[in-house]
Amino acid sequence: MPLSGPPPPADPSMAAAVRGTVCFAGSEEADEAVRGTCEDASICKRFAVSIGYWKDPYIQYFVRQAKERKAPEINRGYYARVHGVSQLLKAFLKKTECNCQIINLGAGLDTMFWRLKDENLLPKKYFEVDFPMIVTRKIYNIKSKPPLSKPIIESHSGESFLIDAHSLDSSRYSILAADLRDSSELEEKLKKCNMDTQLPTLLIAECVLVYMTPEQSASLLKWAANTFQAAMIINYEQVNMADRFGQIMIENLQRRQCSLAGVEACKSLESQRERLLLNGWETANAIDMMKVYSCLPQADVRRIEGLEFLDERELLEQLMQHYCICWATKDSCNMGLSNITF
């Protein structure tokens, strides 16, 4: 369908769906623009939760309720994203029997740690990395709200429990501020929080790499592939950005002083796979979010489609075709990680 009507929002399928994204365009203005999208994304998630798309009893403690309704295609886009990432994550946990660690890069105000604890699916350790400003805010919320702090305390064992304005480290959960452009600094800070390079490791990056230059994201991907014996990465971000719809998305973000420095890798699903393979990963897959949507449990998809009337199916498809989930594995231990799929 030709693009018609008003241009899509800055990050249309998720309404600036950057969950604490780390922006490395090189200016404080650019960083600030992306930090703002962390708030946008969290508000959109809370709205989708409030009308029943999925359950998340913890997001209310991090972000206020939206002042206005979000479009149905935005809510369905979030549903596909949250459930798509979760499905791969849980497949990794099942494959490793939770004897693993998770590192969420650019985690923002994500609530996955608490939801996994409720399902008795916590890995041996869950790490989050983000901007100092976002980390500070998250830790403040955790310290001041018992429904957030209590599960961390309950899961903790041993004596070492560190918390200050810019970091939190318990035996099962850590939040730390680090610059993803500097792999040495990142590794050093993670190791201080007892990251174990011998453990199977899942890394998550949602709308993170696209805000780094190709050289910076390549360095991060190589570090991850070379550091762990058995690892998987889940990357959610834009795709098919060379067409007219993609160009409008880029222009709208630029108006917000937010440059997609890494958009070169987002030309196609093939360019997404190629980047992973060129940077040390043994297997790589990429599918657009419309395909992800079709792979989710269809009984639940029918349930959420009954929540709101969708006026333009074509717009939903356009939005979903410009985002993708990529996942790659490295499996020196022959654990069967390459078999993980939708």
Binding residues for S-adenosyl-L-methionine: 81, 106, 179-180, 206
Separation in Å, CA 269 to CA 118, 236, 248, 315, 340: 34, 12, 19, 20, 18
Q: Is 137 helix (H, G, I), strand (E, B) or coil?
A: helix
Q: Is 47 helix (H, G, I), strand (E, B) or coil?
A: helix
Phi, psi of 161 (to 5 degrees): -135, 105
Instruction: Name the strands in the sheet holding 230-238, side by side, starting at the edge strand that comes first in the sequence.
Output: 162-163, 167-169, 173-177, 125-130, 101-105, 201-206, 230-238, 323-331, 283-288
* Annotation: binding site: 81, 106, 179-180, 206
> Which residue pairs, CB below 8 angstroms and at least 24 apart, start in 329-333?
329/231, 329/232, 329/281, 329/282, 329/283, 330/225, 330/228, 330/229, 330/230, 330/231, 330/232, 330/280, 330/281, 330/282, 331/230, 331/282, 332/229, 332/230, 333/200, 333/229, 333/230
Locus of tokens 């309950």: 154
Nearest to 103 by CA among 204, 221, 229: 204
Cα 271 from Cα 249, distance rounded (Å): 19
Write out the two tokens for 295.
Answer: 């792979």
